[in-house]
Structure 1
Amino acid sequence: MNKKRDIKQELSYFRLKLRSFMREHHPERLKDTEFITARADMALAAYCDAVVQGFSHLEAESMASEVLYQGLHFSKYDTLISVLENEFEMELPAPLPEKFARILLSNKAVQATFDKFGLTDTFVTSGQYDRLYTELTGTIVLLIESNKLPTVRQAEEASPK
């Protein structure tokens, strides 16, 4: 067996696993290849250490996953999707929330709203999540109004019956 090749396969496994997770939950960070590489390296090291210490491959995989996803459990993207799907369901039917959320991630007003809160892995259960959710809803309403963004409801109301 080629040890070097096995390590490269493991590394690429953790990198692919992290990229897939980030594509779904942190699309704004997908271009941060330095972070992805460093985190995949850390996960591989945790996996190897656990195996050397006698843990099963399944246990080692679990330990490596903890390292791989640390600090990534709260997602701005998922939060925006939740707000858009729940509060703007009539105005922005699927697949618009996913497209609009990606745009909103780079908006300064939306970023300023997120920056008011200490976002951690456990933020959703912190009691501050509801306040963030409400503030994001208000920010999005203001963005739609101030930029005169068309919504489905507006288009329906404007069309002759």
Structure 2
Amino acid sequence: MNKKQNIKQELSYFRLKLRSFMREHHPERLQDTEFITARADMALITYCDAVAQGFTHPEAESMASEVLYQGLHLSKYDTLVSVLENEFERELPAPLPEKLAPILLSNEAVQATFDKFGLTDTFAASGQYDRLYTELTGTIVLLIESNRLPTVRLAEEASPK
């Protein structure tokens, strides 16, 4: 395999790795191919530079992964799924949280709640995560009530026994 093929293979490896991560944790950003390509390119450059500087392949891979996932450790999607699973377990049983989270991500009130907080890779450890979680829970309650969204509990209460 020549050097050009090897670089292309490495690049597609980082792109696939990032796409897989985004599919699981940031599905709302999966269509941002420009971001994915640029980030995979940066990871490849980091990897190649590290190997050229004498780092081992596992060390270079670790350094490239830091670049690949920078700013992506806190997932709005995962946070919403967590709120829905934990706070609305009876109203929205599985698999509803995973199906509802992408819809909620596009909601202005939900986005405004996220926008109040400076979401960074260290945000979860900052102590602010609990405030975000509580505010998201309240926002979702208001959305359910104001839009009269059907939930399992409402359906159970409405049906005759």
Normalised to the residue count of structure 1, the TM-score between the two structures is 0.99
Q: Let me know the Cα RMSD of the aligned residues.
A: 0.6
Q: 2-side partners of 1:11 and 1:159: how far apart? A: 56
Secondary structure, counterpart of 1:150 in structure 2:
coil
How is 1:58-137 mapped onto 2 (pairs within 5 angstroms)? 58-137=58-137
The structure 1 segments of at least 4 consecutive aligned residues displaced by more than 3 Å after TM superposition are none
Q: CA deviation at 1:79?
A: 0.5
How is 1:16-35 mapped onto 2 (pairs within 5 angstroms)? 16-35=16-35
Indicate yes or no: 2:152 matched with 1:155: no
Q: CA deviation at 1:156?
A: 1.1
CA deviation profile, 1:88-118 (whole Å, cap 9, x unmatched)? 0000000000011010000000000000000
* Corresponding pairs, count: 161
CA deviation profile, 1:124-148 (whole Å, cap 9, x unmatched)? 1111111111100000000001111
Structure 1: unaligned runs, 5 residues or longer: none
Query: Partner of 1:38 in structure 2?
Result: 38
CA deviation profile, 1:31-74 (whole Å, cap 9, x unmatched)? 11000000000000000001101111111100100000000001
Structure 2: unaligned runs, 5 residues or longer: none
Q: 2-side partners of 1:20 and 1:106: how far apart? A: 21
Query: Partner of 2:9 in structure 1?
Result: 9
Q: 1-side partners of 2:63 and 2:129: how far apart? A: 28
User: Amino acid of the residue matched to residue 34 of structure 1?
Assistant: E
User: Amino acid of the residue matched to residue 39 of structure 2?
Assistant: R
Q: Percent sequence identity over matched residues?
A: 89
